Amino acid sequence: MTRVRFVQRDGSEKCVELDRDVSVMLAAVRNGVSGIDGECGGCLDCATCHVYVDATQASSVLPPSDEELELLSAVSGERRPNSRLSCQLKSLAAIDELVVYVPETQS
């Protein structure tokens, strides 16, 4: 089982277990992770689950789809090369722990 470590802007962290076929966004929402809104429920429609995947792990997750890239162009936080929508991060069986950083703003 993969563990996800959410790092907030102030350096505080929260680790949650990621069940099989559950997105990083859904795990965050279910576990009360601050700063991950997920307003659309994970249907790739809002970009309020924006995160920064740890730069050393960015190549370990599947690349973003064209639809995700389009939504990433409209995020309210700073967009970076390692920006992802956490609703699209799932099936991470090959990763023991994924580290993601929560941006300053979502909407």
Q: Write out pLDDT tens, residues 84-106.
A: 999 999 877 778 999 999 999 88
Is position 11 within any domain?
yes
Query: What's the pLDDT tens digit per position in 57-78?
Result: 998 899 999 999 999 998 988 9
The count of structural domains within the chain is 1
The pTM score is: 0.93
| Statement: residue 20 has pLDDT above 90 | no
Domain with 71 in it: 2-101
Please tell me the distance from the alpha carbon of residue 1 to that of residue 59, in angstroms, as a whole number. Answer: 19
Region of residue 11 (left: phi > 0; alpha: psi -120 to 50; beta: else): left
DSSP 100: E
| Statement: residue 54 has pLDDT above 90 | yes
Please name the residue that has the structure tokens 């703003």.
Answer: 105
Cβ contact 107:39 at 8 Å: yes
Is position 107 within any domain?
no
Give the CATH number of the domain where residue 46 resides. Answer: 3.10.20.30
